[in-house]
Structure formats: structure tokens, C-alpha cells
């Protein structure tokens, strides 16, 4: 059984870039697991990030949410990034995966 959704501080993970299907992607390492960027949400939409993360986790996809903020910016500039495990299947189209789980959340990116 997969772990439940985890919300972590950005500083407790390491970031990298990787190449997949002729596209450069953002990746993250947290503990001993590798994740890829799935969606970014504004502070006002953080509840959508959590809902989508939970929906993906219920489908068996391990998810992590990081809070991205800069000490020199306002609290309202925080963003919430939803990451999914690199072990999860790569959908032909990421939007179709999100739409099939939570149609009302698609298009809510920052």
C-alpha cells in the first residue's frame, strides 16, 4: 500500500532535471523516492493541490506536495507543487489523468 499524501518543505528535498520523450522535466528526490513535477498551484488554490494529490494517491500514485516560497517575497507568492512518483505510469497526456480524477481542478494552476 502506498503512503498517504505527504506535504513537505521545499528545503527538505533535492531537485534535478531529466529528459523523457524529447522533453525536459523537473524532478525531485525526497527520502529514497524520485518524483516528477505534475502541477503547480497558487496559495489561493492550495486546497486544489491537496485534493488532486489525494485523488491521485487513491489511484495508487504516490504523491508529494512542496511549498515553494522565497524568504524575500510576500506570503501570497507561495506556490504549492504537486509531484508524482517516477514509478507511476506515464500517461500519454497528463491533463487527461487529472481530468479523469477531478475535472473541476484542471486549469487551476497558479
Q: What is the pLDDT of residue 74?
A: 61
d(CA 38, CA 17): 14
Q: Is the pTM of this model over 0.95?
A: no
Q: What is the pLDDT of residue 106?
A: 46
| pLDDT tens-digit map of 74-102 | 666 788 999 999 988 765 445 555 555 55
Domain ranges of the chain: 6-105
Q: How many Cβ atoms are within 10 Å of 46's Cβ, its own excluded?
A: 16
Instruction: Please name the residue that has the C-alpha cell 502506498.
Output: 2
Amino acid at each position: 500500500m502506498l503512503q498517504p499524501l505527504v506535504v513537505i518543505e521545499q528545503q527538505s528535498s533535492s531537485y534535478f532535471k531529466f529528459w523523457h520523450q524529447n522533453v525536459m522535466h523537473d524532478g525531485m528526490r525526497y527520502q529514497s523516492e524520485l518524483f516528477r513535477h505534475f502541477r503547480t498551484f497558487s496559495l489561493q488554490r492550495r486546497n486544489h493541490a491537496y485534493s488532486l494529490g489525494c485523488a491521485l494517491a487513491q489511484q495508487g500514485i504516490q504523491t508529494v506536495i512542496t511549498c515553494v516560497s522565497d524568504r524575500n517575497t510576500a506570503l501570497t507568492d507561495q506556490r504549492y507543487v504537486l509531484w508524482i512518483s517516477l514509478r507511476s505510469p506515464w500517461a500519454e497526456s497528463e491533463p487527461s489523468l487529472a481530468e479523469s480524477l477531478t475535472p473541476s481542478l484542471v486549469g487551476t494552476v497558479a
